[in-house]
Amino acid sequence: MSNWLQQITRPEIWSMKGYSSARSEMADFAGMIQLDANENPFLPYPMSKEVHQLNRYPEPQPKAVISRLAAIYGVHKDQVLVARGMDEVMDLLVRVFCIPYKDSILFTPPTYGYYQVAADISGVGIVKVNLEDDFSLDADKLINAGRNKVKIVFLCTPNNPTGNMIDIAVIEKIALNMPNSIIAVDEAYMEFADAPSAVSLLNKYPNMVVMKTLSKAYAFAGVRVGTLLASNEIIKLIGKVIAPYPIPVPSINLIIQALSPFGLEVANSNIDVIKLERERMYQELSKVSGIHVYKSQANYLLIKVSEASSVYQHFLSRGIIIRNRSRDIPNTIRISIGTVLENNLVLRAFGVDIKEYLVSERTAVIVRKTNETDILARVNLDKKEPVKISTGIGFFDHMLEQLAKHGGFSLEISAKGDTHIDYHHTVEDVAISLGQALKNALGDKRGINRYGFVLPMDEANAAASIDLSGRGVLVFKANFPTPLIGEFPVELVEHFFLSFSDKLEAAIHLSATGGNAHHMVEGLFKACAKALNQAIKETSDDIPSTKGSI
Ligand SMILES: *Cc1c(COP(=O)(O)O)cnc(C)c1O
């Protein structure tokens, strides 16, 4: 054990033995009769599948969660501790290192409010080093104010509420020059930023710790999970103080699902949307006169207005709650980035003309989960980019790219299926999700052509016609000369279009001739795409049916 850590730890914490729970003493109790923890052998009411295992205490530090988090954050498993939200992590740090009525922590206003609260609760002193006028942090000023005087320095990056980053070189300088303080970096919003994480400094500076949360980027605020990343020595020390079984069983089960490879793809896709929306909001609001919008690397914007309390009231009267941050920075408000619709309502409240946004965006997202497949399908009929396809089947990816490219729409598909068994489930479930997504994006079909057709194209010998009629019908004529294209069974092509036409509720006629199955299939996808491209085009404000609806 290092002398250094012992010197900065509260002596009673250093010498105490943590609570040893029934679960923590046994590495693996699966299959054993569990009469060790005074649990109740019966399931609670109601006895549904969801309460399975709820009569048992959870693992104190659930292994499956720890190893997923270690992989995501890029650290070793023994450098991870999970707690009930990052706020509890801060509280634990203060309780382990700070002697009440003697020690202090340091933070850099304007910043997150809980550092002060954690100190106040524990009777711990506070040293404040204000950010500069441009919200940057002066490392030398902080080091002079805190060196050998404070036990913990809390640094928030991207900073809440200002949205800017602390330069990683500044963090490193502080860690290097304050070796007798814990440098605790709060990265609650780091997933939204285009800048390096301080995690890369962990192995270089034993006094550095990084705090993470699933509340923001992973949309899990209601589950309450925060993470401490630190040296194993510090992790063990904090582990002595944390409550015996901090993470409830239902939360553990949900976290494992959310952090699965597919869950992460959904999260990352949503993060991408939020970042795009942040940029759009920044651009639009920068044009509004009388306010100043600060650049943000997080999922909110700080805005300087002429009178924050009246702006706040104005939003409230429109049913929108925002945060008045004037107590920390005069006449500022902080607005979270919401859905496209919510953001448009914010723009409108600022007097921005949003007509352009209300008519043009035809988008949809489908997340579909079955026992065999996990599918995410996102379409935007009014954008051509991005086209990102990953189904685990190379040939199929290529065909779907053709469909999006020649269909002229943005398409993201991520599918995780049992392709090791066969391709059937994945192809069918992608077809279902894609058809459904396109149908949802089309909405009431106002203004579209509805029909599209493509005559046989020389190189492909394929023809297609489409009527977005509201009724799924497929007429498919193709005699493939070979049953396989590489490892891809050609019969799945008809299957794909059958499920696709059914969910899109479209009449689709496809035919192809030729001597090469690969060319024929590619021709079919291209022809279908071009017909679709015509059919989904908006040309008027009318619904293209004499009945007034389709
Ligand atoms: C929201 C927030 C947290 C809280 O994280 P939880 O895991 O939900 O407790 C921590 N730090 C900052 C800067 C935040 O904005």
Contact 527, 521 (CB under 8 A): no
Q: How far is CA 460 from CA 464, 515, 524, 527, in A?
A: 12, 10, 8, 9
Mean pLDDT of the chain: 92
Atom number, ligand 1, closest to the C-alpha of residue 88: 9
Instruction: Name the band, by pLDDT with cuts 50, 70 and 90, for residue 543.
Output: low
Instruction: Name the band, by pLDDT with cuts 50, 70 and 90, for residue 546.
Output: low
pLDDT of residue 544 exceeding 60, the answer is yes
Cα of 214 to ligand 1 centre, how many Å? Answer: 9
CA distance 159 to 120: 21
CA distance 532 to 526: 10
pLDDT of residue 530 exceeding 60, the answer is yes
Contact 83, 92 (CB under 8 A): yes
Backbone angles phi, psi at 25, to 5 degrees: -80, -25
Cα of 211 to ligand 1 centre, how many Å? Answer: 9
Ligand 1 site-directed mutation target among 92, 108, 112, 154, most atoms within 8 Å of CB: 112
Atom number, ligand 1, closest to the C-alpha of residue 111: 13
> pLDDT digits over 65-82, tens only?
999 999 999 999 999 999
> pLDDT digits over 109-157, tens only?
999 999 999 999 999 999 999 999 999 999 999 999 999 999 999 999 9
Cα of 226 to ligand 1 centre, how many Å? Answer: 8
Cα of 228 to ligand 1 centre, how many Å? Answer: 12
How does DSSP classify residue 448? B
Ligand 1 site-directed mutation target among 69, 82, 87, 296, most atoms within 8 Å of CB: 87
Cα of 202 to ligand 1 centre, how many Å? Answer: 20
Cα of 186 to ligand 1 centre, how many Å? Answer: 8
Ligand 1 site-directed mutation target among 114, 296, 302, most atoms within 8 Å of CB: 114
Q: What percent of the chain has pLDDT over 70?
A: 95
Cα of 113 to ligand 1 centre, how many Å? Answer: 10
Atom number, ligand 1, closest to the C-alpha of residue 112: 13
Contacts of 479 (CB under 8 A, 6+ apart): 513
Atom number, ligand 1, closest to the C-alpha of residue 159: 13
Contact 229, 89 (CB under 8 A): no
pLDDT of residue 415 exceeding 80, the answer is yes
Atom number, ligand 1, closest to the C-alpha of residue 87: 9
Angle between helical axes of 517-536 and 491-504 (0-180°, round to 10): 10
CA distance 107 to 405: 51
Angle between helical axes of 308-317 and 340-349 (0-180°, round to 10): 120
pLDDT of residue 540 exceeding 80, the answer is no
Contact 77, 270 (CB under 8 A): no
Contact 466, 528 (CB under 8 A): yes
What is the CB < 6 Å shell around ligand 1? 85-87, 112, 156, 160, 186, 188, 213, 215, 221, 226
pLDDT value of position 1: 47
Looking at ligand 1, which residue's alpha carbon is closest to its atom 1?
188
Instruction: Name the band, by pLDDT with cuts 50, 70 and 90, for residue 26.
Output: low
CA distance 516 to 492: 16
Cα of 213 to ligand 1 centre, how many Å? Answer: 7
pLDDT of residue 28 exceeding 70, the answer is no
Contact 409, 416 (CB under 8 A): no
Q: Is 335 helix (H, G, I), strand (E, B) or coil?
A: strand
Closest CA to 208 of 196, 217, 198: 198
Contact 375, 429 (CB under 8 A): yes
pLDDT value of position 118: 97
Cα of 55 to ligand 1 centre, how many Å? Answer: 30
How does DSSP classify residue 159? P
Atom number, ligand 1, closest to the C-alpha of residue 225: 7
Atom number, ligand 1, closest to the C-alpha of residue 216: 1
Tokens, residue 352: 């921005």
The residue with greater pLDDT, 455 or 272, is 272
pLDDT value of position 460: 64
DSSP letters for 204-238: T-TTEEEEEESSSTTS-TTT--EEEE--HHHHHHH
Lowest model confidence (mean pLDDT) among 32-36, 104-108, 207-211:
32-36
pLDDT value of position 27: 59
Contact 360, 410 (CB under 8 A): no
Contact 500, 435 (CB under 8 A): yes
> pLDDT digits over 343-366, tens only?
999 999 999 988 777 656 788 889
> Which helix (H) or strand (E) element contains residue 452?
strand 451-454
Whether the bond into 206 is cis, omega within 30 of 0: no
Cα of 210 to ligand 1 centre, how many Å? Answer: 13
Neighbouring C-beta atoms of residue 433, cutoff 10 Å: 25
CA distance 502 to 499: 5
pLDDT value of position 45: 80
Determine the residue type at 522. E
> What is the arrangement of strands in the sheet containing 152-156, beginning at the earlier edge strand?
80-83, 226-229, 208-213, 182-186, 152-156, 104-107, 125-128
Closest CA to 377 of 419, 469, 444, 440: 440
> pLDDT digits over 211-245, tens only?
999 999 999 999 999 999 999 999 999 999 999 99
> pLDDT digits over 331-349, tens only?
999 999 999 889 999 999 9
Ligand 1 site-directed mutation target among 213, 225, 247, 296, most atoms within 8 Å of CB: 213
Pairing of strands 507-512, 462-467: antiparallel
Closest CA to 547 of 479, 450, 458: 450
Start-to-end CA distance of the chain, whole Å, equals: 73
Cα of 402 to ligand 1 centre, how many Å? Answer: 43
